[in-house]
Amino acid sequence: MKKFLFTLFFGLFIFASSYSQVIVMDIVQVKEGMNTQYEAVEKFVEPIKREAVKMGKQLGWYIMKRKSGGDLSEVENKGIGDYIILNIYKDEAQMKSGMDWNAIASKVYKGKMSTRTIQKKMNSFNAPRKDTRTYTLENIYYTKPGQANRGETVYIFPAEALNDEYEKYEMEVFRPMWEKMILEGSHKYWGFNKITSRSDNAYQNLTHIIFNSRTGVESKIETDFTTQKAMDIGYKSRKGFDNAVCEIIFLADAFNN
């Protein structure tokens, strides 16, 4: 099991460790009754994103539908996001390099759809959306799981650092616990990210986002006295908010092309 886990070098948000990975996360609220229309847009986008990954324009793209949680009304009632979009880049340079989406769409749908229809769909991307909040994340650490799959559940945990030692507690106390659970098979992935910028309509107090994926196997790991005390102090270095429990519904990455 250990050998298997450590020989998987690609998967959800996982790529070459020599890069400073950047994630652009969009929290999308959809207009009432337009979920079907929104998902139709992303279904159209999926093969375009897969081509972008093949071309080396980005590392991955994931659309997740919120199943529960994600309520930050205790901070400010901005409404709960319906979908989460993750665009993954190997570094800031790749993120800023840009791409000709019209050209990629024409390439992907050549012979399958008229130019007029393609352009009409490209121009209607934002029609089902009520609001989009954007966060740019710098990855601090990620584990190495297997590939992401459609239908997989991902937990998104937003946090606010309360002191300068918060990141040390995540890395030196909580990270080893997650890695033990991954090795025993109860968890698949843990990713720790720092928010570096955000849109004006986003929550301004949040500082970090943690991604976590479970396997459904019950963990049997027990913490010793010293570790538990360190964890108790670590919890006080951050303010955690309501986990968003999400399901991957569309994706493009190294395993899905």
* Rounded Cα distance, 105 and 241, in Å: 38
Residue 4 CB contacts under 8 Å (≥ 6 apart), including other chains: none
- CA torsion, points 105, 101, 103, 54, in degrees to nearest 10? -70
* Nearest to 154, CA basis, from 214, 107, 104: 214
pLDDT tens-place string over residues 131-182? 999 999 999 999 875 678 999 999 999 999 999 999 999 999 999 999 999 9
Instruction: Please name the fold of domain 2-252.
Output: Alpha-Beta Plaits (3.30.70)
* Rounded Cα distance, 212 and 161, in Å: 18
Q: What is the pLDDT of residue 143?
A: 87
Residue 83 CB contacts under 8 Å (≥ 6 apart), including other chains: 27, 28, 30, 38, 42, 63, 64, 65, 66
Model confidence at 18, pLDDT cuts 50, 70, 90, reads very low
Query: pTM for this structure?
Result: 0.89
Write out the H or E segment, with its range, that includes residue 26: strand 22-30
Q: What is the pLDDT of residue 256?
A: 74
Q: Give me 72's structure tokens.
A: 């930050």
